[in-house]
Amino acid sequence: MSDPLSRAIEAAGGLDAFITGIGISSRTLADWRRYGVPDTRCLAVERATKGVVTAQELAVHRVDRLRGAA
């Protein structure tokens, strides 16, 4: 299974649609891929994916990445 951010990008209609829909830059997306989606943006991603990817799974995935588990 792919990570939540990759699934969110797909659910939003692709990379360009995701970046535009969330209102971020490609550099910000690169940071999110490396460090995870910040808590302050998880709900925006959930809304952009119409709930396909939840804020909770984004937050859990970020914490797991920081711990080195993912």
Q: Are 5 and 61 in contact (CB under 8 A)?
A: yes
Question: Does 67 score more than 80 pLDDT?
Answer: no
pLDDT band at 69 (very low <50, low <70, confident <90, very high): low
Residue 69 exposed, middle or buried by CB count within 10 Å (0-12, 13-18, 19+): exposed
What is the number of H-type helices and E-type strands within the chain?
5, 0
Residue 23 CA to residue 44 CA, distance in Å, equals: 10
Q: What are the residue boundaries of the structural domains of the chain, listed by start?
A: 4-67
Q: Domain 4-67's class?
A: mainly alpha
pLDDT tens digit string along 39-59?
A: 999 999 999 999 999 999 998
**Tell me, what's the pLDDT at 15?**
96
Residue 46 CB coordination number (10 Å): 20
pLDDT tens digit string along 12-49?
A: 999 999 999 999 999 999 999 988 899 999 999 999 99
